Amino acid sequence: MDPVSLQRHGTVSVITVDNPPVNALSQSVRRGLIDCFDEAELDAVTSAVVLICAGRTFIAGADIREFDLPAREPHLPDVVSRIEATAKPVIAAIHGTALGGGLEVAMACHYRLADRDARLGLPEVKLGLLPGATGTQRLPRLIGIERALDMMLSGESVTADAALETGLVDRVTGKDLLSGALEYAEDVAALGPRRVRDLVVEPVEGAVFDKAETRISQKARGQFAPERILRAVELATRLDFDEGVAAERQLFQECKESPQSQGLRHAFFAERNAAKVPGLDRETPARKVENIAVVGAGTMGAGIACNCLAAGYAVRLMDKDEAALARGAETVRKLLAGGVARGKIAERDRDASLQRFHAGQDFRDLSEADLVIEAVFENMTIKKGVFAQLDKVCKAGAVLATNTSTLDVDEIARATSRPEDVIGLHFFSPAHIMRLLEIVRGAGTSLDVVATALSLSRKLGKIGVVVGNCFGFVGNRMLYSYGRENQLLLLEGAAPEYIDRVLTDWGMAMGPNAVGDLAGLDVGYRIRQERKDLPDDPRFYRVADMLAELGRFGQKTGKGMYRYEEGSREPLPDPEVQALIRDEAKRLGVPERKVGEKEIVERCIYGLITEGARILEDGISHRASDIDVVWINGYGFPRYRGGPLYFADTIGVADVYRTVREFEQRFGPEYWKPPELLRKLAEENGHFSDIGA
């Protein structure tokens, strides 16, 4: 079936794009658009043209998969020009999401009608691109430079009403879209075409560009596309439309070929693939979840409760300790209020959430919960106690989830008589904000419970990644290797602020030492104290342990790897820490030396990669890209580098392997013996990304 078709409704030619799932502008759609517009143009009866889409959305953009293939004609800018050149008025009828190339097509139409629920945006920056089909030249003409920059640099979409206000759309309808479009066609038939290319770009103060520049340096440091978006828009103020489009094309090609865009495109598909789990398909039933109970009213429990409330669930927060429960309930209220203040939650929704919120101290009140999420202290004995209680009180078929970040989910499941109902749901702090949910499948977890967890993650607005059961699962297990190298580097003479600066310059959202202070050095310390299987190496996490033993827990005590002024979260280098580390290194016989930036990056990042390879070997993860998704969304790994294993592919697995072998020689095999998988991929010139793809 042709993905683009034309039907006449009276004197209006209706061109329909039908290319599921999101009507992306694949080559056949581009060709079909040209053919149908040619046909409408030649048709003597046609007085106006409506462009509309079948299915769930208007065109959601270029077909991202085609970016990795040789370009095929007709190119999108030519399609867009063809549409705009039509001598009869053309109306875009928009529903769902008009994104990227989709919005560029809509902007080439002469009039835009949007369904009330539609959203419009140019999200290319999120793929390391700029709008490459005349968008950078049209949007400033339509809505002004400042707003256009805001939309293109943020990549965020706007509602139909907001688009109406700015002039991005001309009319909004709550009625049937096609009827609305046909009506509109009648209204504009006499007006004729109105082309965006003919509009002038309203001049603005230089300060608008300065502001955008500052925004880029603050929010998109080191990123390739935002600078080029700015340049394209600036050119729109100086060049005529066609020259601007030619310049945009050049900048778009640079972006498309940049490693950053390739990394971001990998991340886009990796996130969508994470939902595809072997053994599970759309037919696998998920259990019905309406009532959720959260056990443990600490920061994590309160964050999870808030997240579930905001997603529309009824939530019961439970803690045996009265004071802790009161604090937790207050935190939930504060988090919801914060959501309102930031414009993320409507007041009405906050009120409805509070209606669905209950708090209590009695396990017996959990008997009606469809899903219980345990978020108590990270201690096996305590968690097993909770699960034994849950086993007694919860109804048959309730999903029993643990929010453990490291512990053995199977051992926890054995505290119940129903291991098939038990699963790990590892939320990341702050739970109502972080997008990652590690879904830990135990040996006995039933498939429908995994499906339920995936469905929950979607409703919570999170990316669920299914992983196997082992210490730390995927994320924290890898964090151990990364953190281990950071800790050894500290003893070898690299200051915390130096390591953090090097890694943030490389793209990590935060340095490992600032993260340690944020999370609390006591947390990791307590976990390590409980573990029996740690390396017998006195240097292993020694600096963190030493500081924790001195009561330097991080931000919460005003001192950790850094020091903090009263009421401030800004990490300040602390000479006292430097002296403590130096003394400890002396005591352990670790010679001080000058550590180079390259070594810091390689030891920390290759530590991640080798552990990621071991995780694949062990079958804890079945797909390399799932590991990338975990590190991008849970640990601040730079999205534009595509995740640790994709990054290994980009520099060449053989190169990584060679360096790991050097580290093995230099630092010993205990930490650096290369995993078999790394060796195999290196020798066969293979790629991690092909594993489980």
The residues that touch ligand CAA, with contacts defined as CB under 6 A, are 21-22, 24, 57, 60-65, 76, 97, 99-101, 104, 123-124, 127, 129, 131-133, 135, 269, 272
Q: 543 exposed, middle or buried (CB, 10 Å; 0-12, 13-18, 19+)?
A: buried
Quickly list DSSP for 247-281. Answer: HHHHHHHHHHHSHHHHHHHHHHHHHHHTT--TT--
Query: Which residue lies nearer to ligand CAA by CB, 119 or 384?
Result: 119
Closest distance of CB 97 from ligand CAA, Å: 5
Q: Is 411 a catalytic residue?
A: no
Please calculate the CA angle 119-428-344 and round it to the nearest 5 degrees: 30
Instruction: Give 3-state DSSP helix, strand, coil % of the chain, rounded to 5.
Output: 55, 10, 35
Distance of CA 290 to the CA centre of its chain: 26
Query: Which residue lies nearer to ligand CAA by CB, 60 or 92?
Result: 60
Query: Which residue lies nearer to ligand CAA by CB, 155 or 607?
Result: 155
Pick the catalytic residue from 41, 66, 73, 104: 104
Query: Which residue lies nearer to ligand CAA by CB, 249 or 327?
Result: 249
Taking the CA atoms of the chain, what radius of gyration do you get in angstroms?
Answer: 28
Which sign, positive or negative, has the C-alpha torsion 646, 648, 651, 653? negative
Query: Which residue lies nearer to ligand CAA by CB, 78 or 213?
Result: 78
Bridge partners of 554, per DSSP, are 559
Q: Is 104 a catalytic residue?
A: yes
- The continuous run of DSSP H or E covering 7 comes out as strand 4-9
Closest distance of CB 112 from ligand CAA, Å: 17
Closest distance of CB 475 from ligand CAA, Å: 23
Closest distance of CB 627 from ligand CAA, Å: 18
Query: Which residue lies nearer to ligand CAA by CB, 63 or 234?
Result: 63
Angstrom distance (rounded) from CA 370 to CA 398: 5
Phi-psi map region of 461: left, alpha, beta (phi>0 left; psi -120 to 50 alpha): left
Angstrom distance (rounded) from CA 587 to CA 502: 27
Tell me the H-state helices in 109-156. Answer: 135-143, 145-154
Closest distance of CB 462 from ligand CAA, Å: 13
Query: Which residue lies nearer to ligand CAA by CB, 131 or 301?
Result: 131
Closest distance of CB 76 from ligand CAA, Å: 5
Pick the catalytic residue from 84, 124, 271, 492: 124
Angstrom distance (rounded) from CA 24 to CA 64: 8
Q: Are 445 and 419 in contact (CB under 8 A)?
A: yes
Closest distance of CB 472 from ligand CAA, Å: 28
Which residues participate in catalysis according to the annotation?
104, 124
